[in-house]
A and B are shown apart, each in its own frame.
Chain A
Amino acid sequence: MPGGGDAAGCPPYPIELESNMSINLQALFAQLLVGLINGSFYALLSLGLAVIFGMLNIINFAHGALYMMGAFCAYFLLNVLGIGYWPALIIAPILVGIFGMILERTMLQWLSGLDHLYGLLLTFGIALIVQGLFQNYFGSSGLPYAIPDELKGGMNLGFMYLPIYRGWVVVFSLVICLLTWFLIERTRLGANLRAATENPTLVRAFGINVPRMITLTYGLGVGLAALAGVLSAPINQVRPLMGADLIIVVFAVVVIGGMGSIMGSIITGFALGIIEGLTKYFYPEASNTVVFVLMVLVLLVKPSGLTGRAT
């Protein structure tokens, strides 16, 4: 009896369906927002990588370790010197940035002009050493870092409970990403920098100190990683391996976005965070592989990445 059926049984179904739908939509919004939060970290980290690759031609595998150092820096500022979260947001990236500049001056600069593989292996080695040292001293479980009082608590958005701190992370990293993009793509300093990557000899002829600029750029990229580390300290445990868990995903983000493309890495960072968030909702088992599946697909269709230029 098509279209017929039990009259008494009919009414409940549409109502139940509707309430299910609304729950699903709520959950969907919540996952989108959570994805956006994770995307902020991906964007900040892949942005630093893109800056370093775009300007120095170095595949910086030490990025995860430097991110971890940022978080540890915040921890020590608080627990040894009593300096809180807000100053740490500025001090930690500067300290770790200086560490990065020392790395660049003492080691990385000798690799300019060599194959990418050399830089990759050197930075990978540095990452292993740094992580090993931290793990040796602090163990693997990590250290606690509390959310600053001003950002404690949360608000009920109707479809989800948003911790204020997470909201702050999204807004703050968006601002930082856009500022970095503006600095490199829209200012005179950025123009000099881009010119120096194209033709260092010519730029030097204009009286610009190219090696110093490159060192500062590496410091900037490293500082961005450390900033992401400080931002994540109150959310995750401050652990020596926190960067190692993240760095591979971030590299996939950079590859999908197109190596060296600033805007590409920002947009892909946020987009992949959202896609990963949705995967966690629909099929959680695949949540740590979905990014790599996408990477394979993008590489097959457009080997230079979504926004990269073919070289």
Chain B
Amino acid sequence: MKNKISTLLFSTALVLATTGIASAQDKTVKIGVLTDNSGLYSDLGGAGSTLAAQMAVEDSGFQAKGWKIDVISADHQNKPDIGSNVARQWIDLDKVDVIMDVLNSGVALAINNVVKEKNSIMINSGAASSDLTNAQCTPNTVHWTYDTYMLAHSTGQALVKAGGDSWFFLTADYAFGAALERDTTAVITANGGKVVGGVKHPLSTSDFSSFLLQAQASKAKIVGLANAGGDTTNAIKQAAEFGIVSGGQKLAGLLLFLTDVHSLGLNVAQGLNFTETFYWDLNDQTRAFSKRFGERMKNKAPPTMVQAGVYAGLLHYFKALDALGANPHDGAKVVAKMKELPTDDVLFGKGTIRADGRKIHPAYLFEVKKPSESKAPWDYYKLIGTTPGEQAFRPLSESACPLVKK
């Protein structure tokens, strides 16, 4: 009997010891790209986000160092319930270590809770809501590319200062639209402007004429588009038709991506001002990466800022794993390491990740070129202003994030 117990204890100890060794040297990583693969946002994230993740894996050089890395991808269909189900299954069954992209603020806020509950990681590139690093911040989330606070400040401030002091909003009726309208309104009123009205439209609206007529009747100087993707392009195209711009009002696309400008064509899009944190034609490094990326995309498109964020975010994640020496499979621990290390990549330059999970880098105010100014395919933007990273995002002093020590 005594013998049996000691055998049992010995074997238990052995098992514990070997698993302990295994986790200390565990060099496996599983990456899940959760994005919109089939809906209205699939061009700005979608397959391009998965490609960006694969390129990050290849460029990290981790595989040569003996790491085993898998990239899988799924479609959340812009539905928070589907997104959380996939995330739970990925974390519980497939042992996914990090969830990438998660565009769509509604889905992102849901996944935000899942990764916190399960101590996993979300490196968010595509979602806009600034709540991810404010009231809803978690020790498991990094928000990489952009957010509504930054968009509102950069584009909103520039337009109000240029005389656009009365606004009418066309807002997508979900978490993202609400956050963008809220953050922009704060900027407008702080700069002495006012909001004279607005409408909330359902996601994926094909006809904006009713809303545009209301915007026209409001006589506001600026019609602010607090929406994204196909909704924004439809609104811009139909605004031209209803003579909004020729009638003296100005359109503000608060969130516009390269693929939107491409789809509108320069004839319609020229002169629009908006903010992004990445453009393929910023410098030699972004051009080199975008060339490699475009060659592997089906339609030869250069990366959008969302796809660029997936690449850069994942590279920084690998940097943290490298510093830890192995994969601890402990979300909060890896994210803490990511925050500790300064970021430096070819697409966003040098930066940091703050305590609240907010990645800090410069924001660029762009203007869409006239057709005559565009010299090459995808040559669409003129840089007209840069906000340094420290000023672009919500200052920590205004943060409602419990992780921020005050």
Hey, which bits of chain A sit against chain B, CB under 8 A? Answer: 23, 26-27, 30-31, 34-35, 37-38, 135-144, 146-147, 154, 160-161, 163, 165-166, 235-237, 239, 241-242, 245-246, 277, 280-281, 284-285, 287-288
Contact = CB atoms under 8 A, between A and B. Distances in A.
A160 B244 CA distance: 12
A280 B209 CA distance: 10
Contact of B201 (A144, A146, A287): A287
A154 to B, nearest CB: 6
A141 B243 contact: no
Contact of A147 (B241, B264, B298, B299): B241
Given A34-B209, A34-B213, A242-B206, A140 B200 contact: no
Contacts of B233: 141-142, 237
Given A141-B230, A144-B268, A281 B210 contact: yes
A163 B42 contact: no
Interface of B: 38-44, 46, 173, 199-202, 204-207, 209-211, 213-214, 216-217, 229-230, 233-234, 237-238, 241-243, 247, 259-260, 262-265, 267-268, 298-299
8 contacts: A27-B214, A38-B209, A166-B209, A235-B237, A237-B263, A241-B39, A281-B210, A285-B200
Given A27-B214, A141-B44, 5 more contacts: A34-B210, A135-B38, A140-B230, A239-B230, A285-B202
Q: Is chain A's interface secondary structure helix, strand, loop, or mixed overall?
A: helix
A275 B205 CA distance: 16
Nearest to A165: B241
B305 to A, nearest CB: 15
A276 to B, nearest CB: 9
B230 A285 contact: no
Given A154-B243, A284-B200, A284-B201, A140 B213 contact: no
B349 to A, nearest CB: 28
Contacts of B242: 154, 161, 163
A144 B213 contact: no
Contacts of B199: 280, 284
B200 A144 contact: no
A34 B40 CA distance: 24
Contact of B209 (A37, A141, A245): A37
Nearest to A161: B243
Given A236-B234, A241-B40, A246-B206, A144 B241 contact: no
A37 B210 CA distance: 11
Contacts of B210: 31, 34-35, 277, 280-281, 284, 287
A277 B200 CA distance: 14
Contacts of A281: 210, 214
Contacts of A285: 173, 200, 202
A239 B211 CA distance: 21
Contacts of A38: 207, 209
A146 B267 contact: yes
A152 to B, nearest CB: 9
Nearest to B233: A237
A161 B267 contact: no
Nearest to B266: A144
Given A154-B242, A287-B201, A142 B209 contact: no
A142 B214 CA distance: 26
A27 B259 contact: no
A140 B264 contact: no
Contacts of A141: 43-44, 229-230, 233, 259-260, 262-263
Contacts of B243: 154, 161, 163
A26 B230 contact: no
Question: Lowest 9 A-B CB distances belong to which pairs?
Answer: A280-B210, A141-B263, A144-B265, A141-B43, A288-B202, A140-B42, A139-B43, A34-B209, A163-B241
A298 B123 CA distance: 48
A144 B238 contact: no
Given A140-B43, A237-B233, A27 B201 contact: no
Given A34-B210, A285-B173, A285-B202, A237 B265 contact: no
Among A37, A135, A280, A281, which residue has the most Cβ atoms of chain B within 10 A?
A280
A138 B259 CA distance: 12
A136 B43 CA distance: 11
Contact of A236 (B206, B213, B264): B206
Nearest to B204: A245
B173 A142 contact: no
Contacts of A277: 210
A23 B263 CA distance: 36
Among B41, B237, B264, which residue has the most Cβ atoms of chain A within 10 A?
B237
Nearest to A38: B207
B213 A31 contact: yes
Contact of B230 (A30, A237, A284): A237
Contacts of B43: 139-141
Given A141-B263, A144-B264, A236-B206, A160 B39 contact: no
A163 B207 CA distance: 14
